[in-house]
Chain A
Amino acid sequence: MSKTGNDADATETDPNAAENPADAPILGGGGPTVTAERPLEVEGLRKSFGGITAVDGASFHVEGGTLTGLIGPNGAGKSTTFNLITGMLSPDEGTVAFNDEDITGMEPHAIANKGLVRTFQIARELEDMTVLENMMLAPKGQRGEKLWRSVTPGVRDDVIAQEEELLERVWDVLEFFDIDHIADEYAGNLSGGQRKLLEMARALLTDPDMLLLDEPFAGVNPSLEKRLLKHIHGLKEQGYTFLLVEHDMDLIMENCEHVIVLHQGRILTEGTPADIKSNEEVIEAYLGGNV
């Protein structure tokens, strides 16, 4: 995939960027380090709220380095599944494993630190913080997150040095996503599309192995959608794994290698887009007969 390479080439003010080979990680963090063939394995997941069973024994897995789509009609349990995987909710039954490690019921921050990072359906920016502050927040292992390091004279120099490094890296990612011109803007002032870009850029800065994108194209205009998809494909080439919740069937069919269909909290079927398109059950449950 040469798209990312060209994108990096285009940032001519950065002499280093032009020398980067096409597949070099633009994120400076060494790219993903997926070890498992199936980074995400979900087994018998169940969650009810009161009398309503939102997720009813869902089992599926995601192959490493793929773009997998999770689809289903409204109320199928997609968002709940996301929340169960990322620790925002804990399941009543079932397990979630990431890189062969059981992460069921872990805190969201612990799961994120293992390399499984999500974005939100409605882009949630930290509105009273600038784009740069938003981005600087994300990287892991910041020394200055320890209070004593940040305030102690002398030790703080270390923190400052790391901040300089982070800023360089953050800037690379901002340029990669073409949002460097709004770096000093407050996130609350961004347009919907810019927020989506910022959110994905921010998630990438945590050095994830796998990204869970909750409707990243909702409310995004077609040209921005193209750009986002280009970024996603470029990152996939670098080894990142994606699980994508999306409503737009055409988009899923054109871009995902593998599609999982959720219906009434259960896996209805899964397979290649071609399989899904021709599946009678899916057409009945979700597509209403016209693809």
Chain B
Amino acid sequence: MSVREDLGNRMPGGDAGLIVAVLVVLYVAYVLAGVGLGYSLRGQLNTVAVLTFYIGAFAMLALALNLHWGYTGLFNIGIVGFMAIGIYVMALVSKPLYQSGGAAQVGGLGLPIVVGIVAGMVAAALLGLVVALPALRLRADYLAIVTIAMSEIVRFSFLSGEFQRFTLFGRRVGFGGGSGLILDFTDPLQAFFETFGLWNAYLGFVDAFGAIVPTNPKPVVDGLVYGLVLLLFVAAYYWLLKRTGESPFGRVLKAIREDEDVANSLGKDTNQFKIKSFMLGCALMGLAGILWFMTQGAVTPNTFRPRITFFVWIALIIGGAGSNTGSVLGGAVFAAVLYQGPRYFKNLVDAALPSFNAPSSFGPAVAPLLSNLNPAPLFYYTVDSIRQLQLVLMGLVLIWLMHNRPEGMLGHRKETAAGIPLTSPRTRTAATDGSTGGDEGGRPTDAEGGEGGERDE
């Protein structure tokens, strides 16, 4: 316990050092496993890119959820709904105008990607407002019910034929319904670099990268660079939420989490604070949804099932609710170990044993074990079903955590909700005049104060 409590302090670079250290461990584990099994360089780089992508995505989402749950105590289990609103509205705004004969059934408003991203975040925040207004006045559990219902309503709305195609500002637009929506706007990475006038420089870099990956280096570089962009966004989220938490605003949020009545009777309009906190978190979830899905080429509503919401919750629980650093760590560990880990493990087994044939169902998998104690078919069957077993694994980890470490990796750590370090102002001044010193500065004063009171009696 004490070892872990001090870890953040003893780590060179503090919290940032801790995050970097955990990331390094995760990456090294991935790369070593890949090397051991003879992955090509291209395969290794792709693995790293995908890993980075999911670390970034889950870290962002866990940070946003931490604002809701860790700071304000708002039980939001509709995360995926806000992500869906984000990417769909962004697509609506940024997809090019409809042209008949194109691959896309519907067009968009043809505005720049940045405008689309902002619109997506605003839409997610507004949806948060609509959800919050009736629900926040009730007790916490009602917000949970309302949010999960909302996320399913959002999914079914995008599935419905009504919104498949409609006219907005005289343009033929839509959400594509069940068959999905093609995201045929400019490649976001290209848009990103063009904003800074660096697109040609980037292409030059890709060419130079050809020295390492000779054939078609662009997808590899794109993946890696996009992962880095996501990590930049994680840093931005962290910065924003740290400032939010370490302020009088964050202090009120924390007080609401602890006891809303107390905050209220101290003159804080708690509904206002809750709504602001909720909307900010929703906007950040919308942005995370955009960043996750905008490079995927197409989206379908059924991607946005509640399981993503619960993945984010697991990430936050692993990291420790209430701690921003913990949220990032939780997102990274969840993405690397629980989310990508089993899939990667399957790939490794596939690569190591290219000739194995997994039995097609449970019966043939178990039969050899019973008849001649041959466990191999069952093993192959298990590995083959790893995507399904992944959920079981997550459940086991959750149960273990609840029993042994309910506060997560860093949940025991209380991050002070103030803009300044809360130490005695007297200690700071008194230390210089030498009358009192060290962290006991307050005590002599107190003792004298007590005596004064008694003399008076």
Contacts and interface: CB of A to CB of B under 8 A. Distances in A.
A144 B243 CA distance: 10
Contact of A109 (B249, B268, B280): B268
Contacts of A156: 243, 247, 419
B174 interface: no
A127 B252 CA distance: 14
Contacts of B259: 124, 126
Interface stretch (A35-43, A164-172, A260-268): A164-172
A145 to B, nearest CB: 5
A175 interface: yes
Nearest to B280: A147
B452 A6 contact: yes
A168 B436 CA distance: 17
B267 A109 contact: yes
A167 B443 CA distance: 18
A112 B416 contact: no
B435 A13 contact: yes
Given A7-B453, A146-B249, A147-B244, A133 B445 contact: no
A90 to B, nearest CB: 14
Nearest to B420: A163
B267 A159 contact: no
- Chain B binding site: helix, strand, loop or mixed by DSSP? helix
Given A126-B254, A144-B249, A133 B443 contact: no
Interface in B420-436: 420, 422-426, 430, 435-436
B200 interface: no
B252 A150 contact: no
B266 A138 contact: yes
Interface residues of A, number: 63
Interface string A104-148: 000111101100011010001111111011001110101111110
A186 interface: yes
Given A3-B456, A11-B448, A151-B247, 18 more contacts: A3-B453, A10-B449, A88-B261, A107-B269, A109-B268, A112-B264, A126-B263, A128-B254, A129-B417, A132-B422, A136-B248, A136-B422, A137-B251, A144-B249, A156-B243, A163-B418, A183-B442, A184-B423
21 contacts: A10-B453, A86-B265, A108-B261, A108-B265, A109-B268, A113-B267, A126-B258, A128-B258, A133-B422, A137-B263, A137-B268, A145-B268, A146-B249, A150-B243, A150-B249, A156-B243, A159-B419, A167-B425, A171-B425, A171-B426, A184-B423
Interface of B: 240, 243-244, 247-252, 254-255, 257-259, 261-270, 273, 276, 280, 322, 414, 416-420, 422-426, 430, 435-436, 441-446, 448-453, 455-457
